[in-house]
Amino acid sequence: MKATRLFPLGGLLLLLLLAQGVVEAQGTLEVVPYQAAGYRFKVYSPGTVPSDYGSETFDDSAFSTGDAGFGSGGGCPLQPTVATTWPVDTDLVVRKAFNLPAGSTNLRVMVSIDNDVEVFLNGVNISGGLVVHEGCSTLDEFRFAAPDSLLRVENNLLAVRAVDRGVESFLDLRVLVGGEPAPTPTVTPTPTPVCGDGLWQWPAEQCDPPGTIGDGYMCPFDHVCAADCTCVDIFPPPTPTPGAGSFNPEVGANVSDDEHDVNADIMTTFNLPVTDLQYEVLYTFTPPEFFPGKEVPTGALVGVINAVSTLGLFNGRCNTVLSVTIPIWQATKDTTSCQVTYPDQFKDANGNGLPDGIDCYPDFLLRMLPGLTPIERFYGQVVSPLTVSMNIVTFAAGALPGYPAAWGKAQVAIPNDVGDPERQARPFEPVTDYCTPLSSETITYGLSQDNPATPGDESGAEVRRNPHYDGAYTFRWYAESMRDADGDGLENSIDTCPLDSNTDLSPKEETMPGGPDQDGIDSVCDPDPVNPCWPDSPAPHNPSLYPQWMQDCDMDGFWNRLDTCPLVSNGCNTVWCAQGNPWDPSWDNQADADGDDIGDACDPHPYTPDGQPLVATPSVDVYISGPPPPIGGMVELAVAQSGPPTNSAAGSPADSSAWYYAALAGGAAAALALAAGGRYARRRWLR
């Protein structure tokens, strides 16, 4: 990457510091200034930054050398200070070594960024993960403090990951020690009375006060610039009914033997009651003491999942209860040697008795979890009565962006190819609703068992082992519910009128959903709530072809209850697909840019998710008996309370705990829905 100075600096940065009122308290020393020279840097494609870039042992010998600031150029105020080009829509890693005066304390890294940033000092993440930022950067906008115990006189290493998401990019920083800086005041120019005309422009419009130094601020896609220079929502989102939805997962766990150092089986349960919203995000974090660190033979049987899911089939109500048992095997964690597609993972191409999803790494996992290499992977599948796969991937502590390393090793369970950005919606899926209640029971073996499908004997390998010392070991779980935009207690994914509180009975009730005409569309937004579909709909009801309740009123290839826009054609757009013909990639394909389960074709805010997810963060103890730890007393594996623990639901020793096996369980039940076409294809696994 060529380092190119875009602007003769002179006293520009000093003027900007003075203009913004950045004043340092007496005793403060700037050890790395803004516009510092000699950074090691490299530009990466989005999501491909190595997970160990912040380590002191990371090899940056292939990096280029350049000066700060890094940026794209453009209209934001700090762009004239760019010295090294950083293209938009890419990731950037910069690394710099520096020395400190003896006795230095109170180190702060002050960052100016557009868009997101993560900061390591001497191999330790001091930003708490990736910090998200929108709009133009300003001086000293973020401050990340380092504990004095991290500091040393020579060869301190600063490593920074920056992420740009379009329009303009920018990164610069400075490092301060000693003293305490005075607050950085915000300088806001006085707006000129006349600004915007209140008329929407394509694709968006700038909203700067005329006659001032504009910051290039653009209104969001679905906003207009008003006369007072504010961006106004064209379609204000609905006001949810407080407390209508709930999200309180019920978890339980125990070990077959609570003695220290034994290879105990771990048995868990995971339940969502019928009144709860379905989950969308599920991460679990495990104390490392339960991982023996031994290699398990590929193909060894390491566990089993028994799950019960509640489904709605063929546009009907949620009254189908489906049970499935999924065996779980040890699978390769090598992401490079051999890769396999989603449909091919069920095959056994080399005839060794193992599904190819065990022998090879699924390529869709690389797209879902870019830049992450697991330390362990399990794989399970069944092909009857439904074809279901399950990939359970475990990552090193701190590897998942946005979550502290203190939470432990992170696990993600992915049913089928749910969440693959290249996954195509599948017309006329039989499963139209994936509902609660949901429950599962999981057994993970302490010692592996033999796989009878292979000639070798894979039994006896250590999969899990109880910790050595006596005490309570804390397991943690982070989960987010699906969104409920109108607050009526129904997730957008099962709500055919997601922006209007339903007036008919829920699809979970003992009747056909969709009002008097039973077409699956709630009466509150149904153009004709008495008759199936509506008089001028593309597919008026024809009882000689299908029952009254089996409807695709807009004739786009998706049942009303499966369709992300049941009143607007956003699938095939012709009878071609409805007649079972091949899918044309140019069709809308249930597009949902913001992933809120409301299709772009009918979403008034296609780039802003409608509805807020509820968050549950159970934190539960598992008790192990053994010798006291060397310092005496009970082991207390307390975890720093960081992250977004709103609306948390916590377990207790009385009702036991679930850790990543709860993730397996929830994921397994999700797989029972066959990823259910357009409605469930966009589940996300990284924040």
The pLDDT tens digits of the residues spanning 60-112 come to 999 999 999 999 988 788 888 899 999 998 999 999 999 999 999 999 999 99
84 falls within a domain: yes
Instruction: Give the range with max mean pLDDT: 102-106, 631-635, 663-667.
Output: 102-106
* Model pLDDT, residue 656: 28
* Model pLDDT, residue 228: 62
Bigger pLDDT: 104 vs 255: 104
Q: Give the residue from 133, 154, 177 where a domain finishes.
A: 177
Q: Mean pLDDT across the stretch 390-403?
A: 86
The pLDDT tens digits of the residues spanning 206-231 come to 555 443 333 445 565 446 666 666 66
272 falls within a domain: yes
Judged against a pLDDT cut of 70, whether residue 46 lies above it is answered with yes
- 3-state secondary structure at position 300: coil
* Model pLDDT, residue 575: 53
Q: Which residue has the tokens 């968050």?
A: 615
Average pLDDT, the chain: 76
Tell me, yes or no, whether 165 and 291 share the same domain: no
Residues 6+ apart with CB under 8 A from 274: 310, 435, 436, 437, 508
Q: Give the residue from 131, 162, 177 where a domain finishes.
A: 177
- 3-state secondary structure at position 80: helix
User: Omega of the bond prior to 437 within 30 degrees of 0, cis?
Assistant: yes
The CATH number given to whatever domain includes residue 70 is 2.60.120.260
* Model pLDDT, residue 547: 53
Tell me, yes or no, whether 375 and 475 share the same domain: yes
108 falls within a domain: yes
Bigger pLDDT: 245 vs 370: 370
Q: Give the residue numbers spanning the domain of 283.
A: 250-482+614-647+658-680
Judged against a pLDDT cut of 90, whether residue 664 lies above it is answered with no
Task: Name the domain count of the chain.
Answer: 2
The percent of residues above 70 in pLDDT, for the chain, comes to 73
Confidence of residue 587 (pLDDT cuts 50, 70, 90): low
* Model pLDDT, residue 219: 60
The pLDDT tens digits of the residues spanning 139-192 come to 888 889 999 999 999 999 999 999 998 888 999 999 999 875 444 433 333 333
Query: How far from 625 is each of 257, 446, 634, CA to CA, in Å?
Result: 10, 17, 10
The pLDDT tens digits of the residues spanning 334-368 come to 999 899 999 999 999 999 999 999 999 999 999 98
CB atoms within 10 A of CB 6: 16
Judged against a pLDDT cut of 80, whether residue 136 lies above it is answered with yes
C-alpha–C-alpha distance, residues 112 and 107, integer Å: 17
674 falls within a domain: yes
Query: How far from 71 is each of 67, 498, 611, CA to CA, in Å?
Result: 11, 41, 34
Tell me, yes or no, whether 306 and 451 share the same domain: yes
Type of residue found at 519? D
Judged against a pLDDT cut of 50, whether residue 429 lies above it is answered with yes
Task: Report whether 665 contacts 307 (CB < 8 A).
Answer: yes
Tell me, yes or no, whether 359 and 471 share the same domain: yes
Ranges 395-399, 533-537, 668-672: which has the least confidence: 668-672
Tokens of 20: 């913004």
Tell me, yes or no, whether 263 and 147 share the same domain: no
Bigger pLDDT: 324 vs 298: 298
Judged against a pLDDT cut of 70, whether residue 546 lies above it is answered with no
Q: Mean pLDDT across the stretch 395-403?
A: 84
Judged against a pLDDT cut of 70, whether residue 4 lies above it is answered with no
Q: Give the residue from 146, 177, 208 where a domain finishes.
A: 177
pTM over 0.95: no
Confidence of residue 388 (pLDDT cuts 50, 70, 90): confident
* Model pLDDT, residue 473: 83
Judged against a pLDDT cut of 50, whether residue 255 lies above it is answered with yes
Judged against a pLDDT cut of 80, whether residue 526 lies above it is answered with yes
Bigger pLDDT: 406 vs 484: 484
Judged against a pLDDT cut of 90, whether residue 472 lies above it is answered with no
Tell me, yes or no, whether 392 and 283 share the same domain: yes
581 falls within a domain: no
Residues 6+ apart with CB under 8 A from 392: 328, 377, 378, 379, 380, 411, 412, 413, 414, 660, 663, 664, 667
458 falls within a domain: yes
Task: Report whether 645 contacts 677 (CB < 8 A).
Answer: no
- 3-state secondary structure at position 620: strand
Q: How many CA atoms lie within 13 A of 263 on its CB side?
A: 16
Residues 6+ apart with CB under 8 A from 380: 305, 326, 327, 328, 329, 389, 390, 392, 668
Q: Which residue has the tokens 């987010």?
A: 480
Tell me, yes or no, whether 282 and 416 share the same domain: yes
Tell me, yes or no, whether 289 and 390 share the same domain: yes
The percent of residues above 90 in pLDDT, for the chain, comes to 30
Tell me, yes or no, whether 151 and 259 share the same domain: no
Q: Is 261 left (phi over 0), alpha (psi -120 to 50) or beta?
A: left
- 3-state secondary structure at position 472: strand
* Model pLDDT, residue 135: 79
225 falls within a domain: no
Task: Report whether 433 contacts 311 (CB < 8 A).
Answer: yes
Q: Mean pLDDT across the stretch 632-656?
A: 34
Tell me, yes or no, whether 152 and 64 share the same domain: yes
539 falls within a domain: no
**13 membership: H or E segment, kind and range:** helix 12-19
Confidence of residue 584 (pLDDT cuts 50, 70, 90): low
Q: Mean pLDDT across the stretch 512-522?
A: 75
Type of residue found at 608? T
